[in-house]
Amino acid sequence: LQKRTGGQFIKDRAVKLLVPSTLGLFVVHWVTGYLNIKMGGALGLMPGFMVYPISVISGIGPLWFIQMLFVFSCALVLLKKLDRADRVWTLCGRANLPVLLLLAVVIFAAAQVLNMPVLTMSRCGIYFAAFLIGYYVFSHGAVQDIAARACVPMACAAAVSAVAYAIYYGAQNFTEAACLQSVFTNVYLWIVVLAVLGCGKRFFDREIALGRYMTRASFGLYILHYPILLTVSYMLHTRLALPAICNYAIALVLEFMFTFAAYEIVRRIPVIRFLVLGVGKKREKA
């Protein structure tokens, strides 16, 4: 937004976020929909010519999240038009540690609204709040430095909270509203976020070859990982009679291998690269 107009920013976000999560479904993510239909036992209940289009429509998987990011990006442009002098952004840059800790209240409140009624893990309120906090608060270097100075006690608090959280919730369904919307969950969440951001700034704020590669590749890995994970897991479950722990271990290794390989292949094919990753050759090199 510092380098583009609002219109240019929205156009850029549309290509980057909407193209992979719409046109990309026809190229890659129909596999996710197909396997979901097959595992659900509905494959034999529909005409053959309908299998592919229904697979495409139901193959979005985790890509719904980047569609929400596009909506959030449009909302951010609107907010900036209402505050052309960036007064809110400047004010948020003055946040101190108590303010950062109190943002847990914002996270908790946001977790109570805009939640999907059936897919309870789809939590638009908390995602939008976190998006805005990232832009207005943590885009300031001074705020990042505050989190960095407090990272050790925050990391200790996060570790203790993790043990307490695991004991308290045990084997309960973590996708239910009773868990997702609780005070404990959201305070624990925010402690971990502050610990990760602070430790990242303090101990890992440097560039190495792997970091440069992952900066370029991480979005593509996110785009491609799910159909590969689903395919690998389905094949392991249906073709090999292995203990569950072996399936998990093998799936972990194979998913990493195949996802990185798929990314390196896809990013080298011009049209497919645009449809699946939302990037052209010039931008991919950048």
Q: Which long-range contacts (CB under 8 A, 24 or more apart) does 213-220 make?
A: 216/284, 217/260, 217/263, 219/16, 219/277, 220/263, 220/266, 220/267, 220/277
- So what's the pLDDT on residue 285? 45
- So what's the pLDDT on residue 286? 40
Query: Which residue is it, tokens 């510092």?
Result: 2
How far is C-alpha 222 from the geometric centre of its chain's CA atoms?
8
- So what's the pLDDT on residue 114? 87
pLDDT tens track of the chain, all 286 residues? 888 899 999 999 999 999 999 999 999 999 999 999 999 889 888 899 999 999 999 999 999 999 999 999 999 999 999 999 999 999 999 999 999 999 999 999 999 998 877 776 678 999 999 999 999 999 999 999 999 999 999 999 999 999 999 999 988 888 888 899 999 999 999 999 999 999 999 999 999 999 999 999 999 999 999 999 999 999 999 999 899 999 999 999 999 999 999 999 999 999 999 999 998 755 544 4
Query: Which residue is it, tokens 């996060």?
Result: 158
Q: What angle do CA 256, 55, 255 make, to 5 degrees?
A: 5
SS (H, E, C) the chain: CCCCCHHHHHHHHHHHHHHHHHHHHHHHHHHHHHHHHHHCCCHHHCCHHHHHHHHHHCCCHHHHHHHHHHHHHHHHHHHHHHCCCCHHHHHHCCCCHHHHHHHHHHHHHHCCCCECCCCCCCEHHHHHHHHHHHHHCCCCHHHHHHHHHCHHHHHHHHHHHHHHHHHHHCCCCCCCHHHHCCHHHHHHHHHHHHHHHHHHHHHCCCCCHHHHHHHHHHHHHHHHHHHHHHHHHHHHHHHCCCCHHHHHHHHHHHHHHHHHHHHHHHCCCHHHHHHHHCCCHHHHHC
- So what's the pLDDT on residue 250? 96
Number of CB atoms found within 10 A of residue 109's CB = 13
